[in-house]
Amino acid sequence: MITVKNVHKSFGLQTLLDGANLQINAGDRFALVGPNGAGKSTFFKMLLSEEWPDEGEILFKRGITVGYLPQENAPVSTELTVLRESLSHLEDPDGRVEARAKAVLMGLGFKVTDFDRKVNTLSGGWAMRVAMARLLLEEPNLLMLDEPTNHLDLESMLWFQDYLLNYRGSIFLISHDRNFINIVCKAVVSLENKTLKVYAGDYEFFVKQKAEDKERLEQAYREQQEEIADMEDFVNRNRARASTASRAQSVLKRLEKLERIELPEENKKLKIRFPQPQRTGVRTLALKHVDKSYGEVKVYKDLNFELERGWKMAFVGHNGAGKSTLLKILAGVVPIDKGERTPGINVKVGYFSQHRAETLDSEKTVLEEALSVRDHSEQTVRSALGSFLFRGESVFKKVKVLSGGEKSRLSLVKLLLDPPNVLLMDEPTTHLDLDSVEALVSALQDFEGTLCFISHDLYFVNALANHVVHVHHGKVTLYPGNYDYFISRTSPQTS
């Protein structure tokens, strides 16, 4: 379907692709993976002719249809209703498509009452879901999705996964979610060392192969280094003597011609201490007899809840159970119908949602944005940025050119440079690659304030939580221990 031949792409001094090749055939289901800022979204845009390679070719088979979901900013903002927009690219003489559209919309988490809402009244995340519905209904030959699960909750994610599994066309998607990749895709395309490499298996296979490749490369590197040392030694010992000088000369020539094996640069981990917030009293937040409904739907009735200083609390439970709502109630960003929300002494609450990156100023540079937070020295701000992998020249990039993960990283740096003492985070690892998750975990482990978070990333939960709250049918149960403790108290005994 698509042939990518020897593609090169740079932005200024930064080279993303240097001789990339790829063949996509009908029936392929590929996942494109790679670190934040590697160039995955840019590669997709080149396939769609929204960006151009500096060199090389991208060839499309004639007549194939391609559908694309961008990483952010859904291509919808119409006066149309949700249902009409999802059907806007289709003809539907006998009304059959409409029934399918409704099923898809419901699968993606819309309620029947949402069908007639205008798309331009929806939040960014929900507008993305409308764009997804429209795309799925179009059924293109090739479906290209840039981090589609970022916008979904667990329930709609499961539905979506299943839908893709039964999809008739080919799929090429970008994701950081290994479970999702394992279920939906048949091969992993890795953007590494500025080229594309195909691993014909699931994500685990890819990880294993990569580890073996690395091992092999390091072995070859060690052997070559020894060989080089021997040759240099030979040259040094023999070049001064007339009888051996010519042999030394030829070894020297061989040395110069030798193609040197290079090890890829490892991302050095920088550990810095972020500023700590002002200390609070022991009680940081309390809810008493709180009722909360959305229209007909009662989410909480007579909810009581207390949060103490230094707790790092994970909210767990099925989606739709009300975790995000609880976090928003605690943050005071949604009104409650009844009851009281009482912040403790000195408490300054900060709420961080997945869409926080939308509040960055796109015309500023990374450094300017980070400096705007508080009167920190440039040195402090630079090292904070460095610990979140903004190194060297990259701090002078404008926000508008940043990749999805880079924007999230920048928002996190800004938050951590002036942290609130009660920090509430909804899925903070969305968009982040492994190294960035690591940087966030490390900063939050040191955080001396109070933290509540929702995350589907078990590594993240395990690394941070010292309290777990299970949210289920409007009931919240506190487990005063880490995630293992929660599991040991809730899973049925097996022996």
Ligand X SMILES: Nc1ncnc2c1ncn2[C@@H]1O[C@H](COP(=O)(O)OP(=O)(O)OP(=O)(O)O)[C@@H](O)[C@H]1O
Chain contacts with ligand X (rule: CB under 6 A) = 11, 16, 34, 36-42, 71, 397, 401-406, 431
Work out the angle at residue 193's Cα, subtended by the Cα atoms of residues 187 and 195, and round it to the nearest 5 degrees: 55
Residue 170: CB minimum distance to Mg ion, A: 20
Can you tell me the distance from the alpha carbon of 72 to that of 406, in angstroms, rounded to the nearest whole number?
13
Query: Which is closer to Mg ion, CB of 41 or CB of 450?
Result: 41
Helix (H, G, I), strand (E, B) or coil at 469: strand
Contact residue for Mg ion among 58, 71, 428, 468 (CB under 5 A): 71
DSSP per-residue codes, 218-243: HHHHHHHHHHHHHHHHHHHHHSSSHH
Query: Which is closer to ligand X, CB of 71 or CB of 284?
Result: 71
Residue 347: partners with Cβ closer than 8 Å, 6 or more residues away:
280, 281, 284, 285, 421, 422
Query: Which is closer to ligand X, CB of 132 or CB of 330?
Result: 132
465 binds, among ligand X, Mg ion, none (CB under 5 to 8 A by kind): none
Phi, psi of 187 (to 5 degrees): -150, 155
Q: What six digits make up the tokens of 262?
A: 């290079």
Query: Which is closer to Mg ion, CB of 16 or CB of 122?
Result: 16
406 binds, among ligand X, Mg ion, none (CB under 5 to 8 A by kind): ligand X
149 binds, among Mg ion, ligand X, none (CB under 5 to 8 A by kind): none
34 binds, among Mg ion, ligand X, none (CB under 5 to 8 A by kind): ligand X
Residue 383: CB minimum distance to ligand X, A: 20
Closest CA to 120 of 86, 73, 81: 81
Task: Specify the residue for token string 């020539």.
Answer: 253
Give CA 436 to chain center in angstroms.
9
Closest CA to 69 of 159, 189, 173: 173
Query: Which is closer to ligand X, CB of 24 or CB of 191?
Result: 191
Residue 453: CB minimum distance to ligand X, A: 21
Closest CA to 53 of 117, 3, 127: 3
Give the H or E element holding residue 137: helix 124-138
DSSP per-residue codes, 242-257: HHHHHHHHHHHHHHHH
156 binds, among Mg ion, ligand X, none (CB under 5 to 8 A by kind): none
Check residue 67 for interaction with Mg ion (CB under 5 A): no
Residue 133: CB minimum distance to ligand X, A: 23
Kindly indicate which of the ranges 212-220, 248-256, 403-411, 487-495 contains the residues binding Mg ion, using the contact rule CB under 5 A: 403-411
401 binds, among Mg ion, ligand X, none (CB under 5 to 8 A by kind): ligand X
Residue 100: CB minimum distance to ligand X, A: 31
Residue 195: CB minimum distance to ligand X, A: 14
Contact residue for Mg ion among 34, 41, 440, 468 (CB under 5 A): 41
Residue 83: partners with Cβ closer than 8 Å, 6 or more residues away:
98, 101, 102, 105, 115, 116
169 binds, among ligand X, Mg ion, none (CB under 5 to 8 A by kind): none
Q: What six digits make up the tokens of 230?
A: 């021997």
Give the residue closest to ligand X by C-beta.
405
Give the residue closest to Mg ion by C-beta.
41
Can you tell me the distance from the alpha carbon of 495 to that of 286, in angstroms, rounded to the nearest whole number?
39
Query: Which is closer to ligand X, CB of 138 or CB of 435?
Result: 435
Contact residue for Mg ion among 404, 420, 428, 449 (CB under 5 A): 404
Residue 409: CB minimum distance to ligand X, A: 8
Asked whether the beta carbons of 308 and 285 are under 8 A apart, the reply is no
Residue 390: CB minimum distance to ligand X, A: 10
**Alpha helices of 302-365 — where are they, by DSSP H?**
323-331
Draw the binding track, 372-401, toward Mg ion (x: CB under 5 A; -: no contact).
------------------------------
For residue 131, how many other CB atoms are within 10 A of its CB? 23
Kindly indicate which of the ranges 33-41, 258-266, 339-347, 385-393 contains the residues binding Mg ion, using the contact rule CB under 5 A: 33-41
Helix (H, G, I), strand (E, B) or coil at 157: helix
Residue 345: CB minimum distance to ligand X, A: 40
Residue 18: CB minimum distance to ligand X, A: 14
Instruction: Give residues in contact with Mg ion (CB under 5 A).
Output: 40-41, 71, 403-404
